[in-house]
Chains A and B, each alone.
Chain A
Amino acid sequence: MEFLRPASWEEALAAKAEHPSAVPIAGGTDVMVEINFDHRRPTHLMDLNRVHELHEWEIGDETVRLGASVPYSKIIDELAHELPGLALASHTVGSPQIRNRGSVGGNLGAASPAGDSHPALLAAGAEVEAESVRGTRFIPVEDFYTGVKRNALAEDELIKRVHIKKADGPQQFSKVGTRNAMVIAVCAFGIALHPETRTVRAGIGSAAPTPLRARTAEDFLGAALEEGGLWDSGRTIPPSVAREFAELCSGACNPIDDVRGSAAYRRRAVGVMARRTLGWVWESYRATGNGRTTEGGAQCA
């Protein structure tokens, strides 16, 4: 195995073009486990830790441009205001040591359906900035996951940044694991209210071959909120609407039975999380009036 250590982003892109099978590594929390257990034996390993811009982030008017290697602990500490859902999801990743090393770029690169950041990215709205020597493209995150542990990257592309929409309303994230910390998701759920567009987005993790958006549920809820005039009135969401939203989220799942949980349980749990997190974000929205809030992210940060 050859170890590549590009000193700059340009060098990294050139190396990736030259060695398309090179596996990029930053925190190593996923790749190193696979290598240590000999589950993976890449011809080239590309250490991206010298590429400093991957560790940086920038808060723009609309989005946070998050470098691929920014560790979860930074997201929790520095970005909970702009990215409350992702900050909550980051809190559920591994142990403190893992959160100091692991990154959203790594989560996207691995594209495991159980990756913790995916539901939060799907709910917030995000684009993956993929680059190669051929150029740059922006891939909407919902199009990024193409299969179990497969993503939309071309073989010469690297993830440079993720452009995540800044929260314009409350966001929540919930994850079921059979331990109270340091656990891989049995299933996970992210929700974001977008009062500016009067939409709701919901992301589901670990309950289908890929992370996915619960679009039918989103559309149903968006319509119900609109028709009921709830965005303006701030009235409580009728229980029947919350129930229907939960059922549609369950219905969006396409889970499997495995050692972590049964398909039936996953479906059930996604529904429960959908109903509860909807309640939490809506209560926040009502409480703050305009919906602009740091609710959720702040409590654990």
Chain B
Amino acid sequence: MAPTTGPGRTPTQLDQGADTKGGVGESPLRPDGTLKVTGEFAYSSDMWHEDMLWGCTLRSPHAHAEIVSVDISEALEQPGVHAVLTYDDLPTEMKNYGLEIKDTPVLAHGRVRHHGEPVALVAADHPETARRAAAKIKVDYRELPVVHDEESALAKDAPLLHPDRDDDHARHVPHPNVVHRQPIVRGDAGAAARRADVIVTGEYEVGMQDQAFLGPESGLAVPAEDGGVDLYIATQWLHSDLRQIAPVLGLPEEKVRMTLSGVGGAFGGREDLSMQIHACLLALVTGKPVKIVYNRFESFFGHVHRHPAKLWYEHGATRDGKITHMKCRIVLDGGAYASASPAVVGNAASLSVGPYVVDDVEIEALALYTNNPPCGAMRGFGAVQACFAYEAQMDKLAAELGMDPVELRRRNAMSQGTLLPTGQAVDSPAPVAELLRRVKAMPLPLEAQWETVGGEPDVRALPGGLSNTTHGEGVVRGVGYAVGIKNVGFSEGFDDYSTARVRLEVVGGEPVAMVHTAMAEVGQGGITVHAQIARTELGVAQVTIHPADTQVGSAGSTSASRQTYVTGGAVQHVCRLVREQVLERGRERFGTYHPAWASAELLLEGGKVVTDGGEVLASLVDVLGDEPVEAEDEWRHRPTEAFDLKTGQGFGHVQYSFAAHRAVVEVDTELGLVKVVELACAQDVGKAMNPQAVEGQIQGGTVQGLGLAVMEEIVVDARAKVRNPSFTDYLIPTILDTPTIPVDVLELADEHAPYGLRGAGEAPTLSSTPAVLAAVRAATGRALPRVPVRPEHIVEV
């Protein structure tokens, strides 16, 4: 799918490495690409070890219950069973884990707080034996009333999820069942409202989306002779896992050696631990390697989901379309454990106004503790929920003013220098109006594409697809627009750094760079980009990517659109340290032969040291000899600071990412079925490090947003139980649901970031959903305040 309009390229010019093939700005093949497409790639679920056992988790069938007793005797007696573990078998005082707040029990103790909470573990010589033994564990539950929404969570006599909580947020929240609350107040929204000619309000709802990665949670723990354990694992952040695993095992971190294994997608769902500690415990107890692989059913219980949200918004505007003020209240359901809820609240609050200039705001965002499934990180978190609501509000406001919805957005679009509600100035390009202009300028897809010369309709192009529900009857086209803003990197004062180790040496007569980081390649293409950076910075053709493990320092998480920025930045930084060492060695060895060695402008190009005029001074092979050059260092982006707990003011974010979408849909207005015909996207990526990969990110994010718009939802009933934990009933888009996605990439450099790049992975997930809904509203005239929209909502039965 080629861009339909000319990309707006003002890319950062490269000096070093401009002549090196396969460097920054090109699209070399991914090293894992062919293997994945041909089915030969080894995912974490494919691992095998001599004599290994299979682990299995017994999970709670109830959302909230007291555990009266657990009897494992019958399970232990099963032939082939090597171990059955419960809470009582945990080896240290540390029984919990958690990303920020350690409130999640490794195994339930006395009480289960959500449907699917782990209660016991079994290791057996066959997965089936383990499953059957787990079924023989007798757990006597006494069901407790559930807390499942704001009303039940904040009621006076509400059961408290964590009555003894002592986390940092406990002191400032209004109720113990509130994980974190962030107000933001700026200007005087009340006074500004009096200047408004029109005011629109709305109540919106976002359902619980799942990451639905295709590779289920899995890993292999191998006990080591030194009493430690080697864990091969699919995760998003090795060192974060390590810091949570080691204390529970009672091992020093250096005795828990972790290696990344093949990750089959993540999208935030692997930020929290799943089977890591369980497999290690079983391996240490049995003295045998233990593999755990969740099936799809268990996977739906094995990771956190996107926070469902209820959002109340008020916007005012003057007759000429200038927004006067915004008030909003965002209630996120965090489920039973905190996970990433505090950060989700921070994002939702600070980005709740969207990419618009609004000086007078009153904002409140909070996350609840409930007995619903725990929710945490998912692509675009906090910002996705807010974007759905504020973009619906923009359309409402435009309708009220009788103004074109894109024109209204343009008149209020933020730009470089705009102050966010947090008082923070946006200090890099913010081409919001330009992105909207570009998607609007793209040619519209042809009408009635299902019509064929022969007369029989091509049902694949119609709502319902092969289900053959319409041949054009009841089908109405709608067009909608949306734009969003996402923060890049970890915010609110988090020390967000990454570590890289780079070695340059002669192998087989050629200079070869080895890049070693702990970055989790989860499919985003990070290893491809690291090799590109090394080629550019060191002027070499051959780059080896060392497997990611904990033998090198932390790379931070593969999330928050941060990895190319931060670990990419670390690789660039360390490559430059290596380059300096190489030049230093060259000067020592050959400096006397040519005066240009004294120049500060020397480059590494094509395996040689050259002057900026292109004159060759020496080959890298000669400079390096048989002595490698190696460097390792940490690299961090600009520091941020926490938001003030009362006013929400603060330099909380390091960078922003913007994308705009235009959705063209065809809706069967009688059956409520939707065919998204096209989702055009324009996004500023600062610098397209790998244009093909960034286009893939944009298309992937766009489709994930489409999924939230029209089908993806974990249905939880009033007893807090999950109704659809399978791909039979949790639907994700197929290729017949995937529209044409023309992508227009802008490259407006952010001077603060390596190569001027801008984190790209999340922004397209934000605006895709509200654009689709805007288009469906345009086609149907319905209000549709909730995603995913269901046929029932469209036909109103």
Contacts and interface: CB of A to CB of B under 8 A. Distances in A.
Interface of A: 36-38, 88, 91-92, 172-184, 186, 259-262, 264-265, 267-269, 272-273, 276, 279-280, 298-300
A183 B467 contact: yes
B792 A264 contact: yes
A92 B468 contact: yes
The B interface is mostly helix, strand or loop, or mixed, namely: loop
A273 to B, nearest CB: 6
Contacts of B671: 176, 269, 272-273
Given A180-B737, A265-B792, A276 B469 contact: yes
B675 A180 contact: yes
B459 A179 contact: no
A267 B792 CA distance: 11
B131 A38 contact: yes
Contacts of B473: 276, 279
12 contacts: A37-B295, A88-B468, A174-B467, A178-B731, A179-B731, A180-B465, A183-B467, A264-B797, A268-B795, A269-B671, A276-B471, A299-B456
Interface string B115-136: 0000000000000000100010
Main secondary structure of the interface of A (DSSP, over half): mixed
Interface stretch (B145-153, B172-180, B625-633, B721-729): B721-729
The 6 closest A-B pairs by CB, nearest first: A180-B465, A181-B736, A175-B467, A180-B736, A264-B797, A299-B456
Contacts of B243: none
Contact of B734 (A174, A180, A272, A273): A180
B737 A276 contact: no
Contacts of B797: 262, 264-265, 267-268
Contacts of A38: 131, 135
A23 B393 CA distance: 56
A92 B466 contact: yes
Interface residues of B, number: 42
Contacts of B790: 178, 261
Nearest to A279: B473
B791 A184 contact: no
B372 to A, nearest CB: 16
B721 to A, nearest CB: 12
Interface centre among B459, B467, B735 (most CB of A within 10 A): B467
Nearest to A37: B297
Contacts of B295: 36-37
A173 B464 CA distance: 12
B610 interface: no
Given A181-B736, A262-B792, A300 B466 contact: yes
B297 A177 contact: no
B734 A259 contact: no
B791 A176 contact: yes
A261 B468 contact: no
Contacts of B466: 91-92, 180-181, 300
A246 B671 CA distance: 14
B724 A259 contact: yes
Nearest to A172: B468
A115 to B, nearest CB: 14
B467 A92 contact: yes
B463 interface: yes
B670 interface: yes
Contacts of B457: 299
A176 B469 contact: yes
B470 interface: yes
Nearest to B472: A276
B460, B724, B792: most-surrounded residue (chain A CB, <10 A): B792
Contacts of A299: 456-457, 459
A174 B459 CA distance: 11
Contacts of A280: 471
Contacts of A261: 790-792
B467 A177 contact: yes
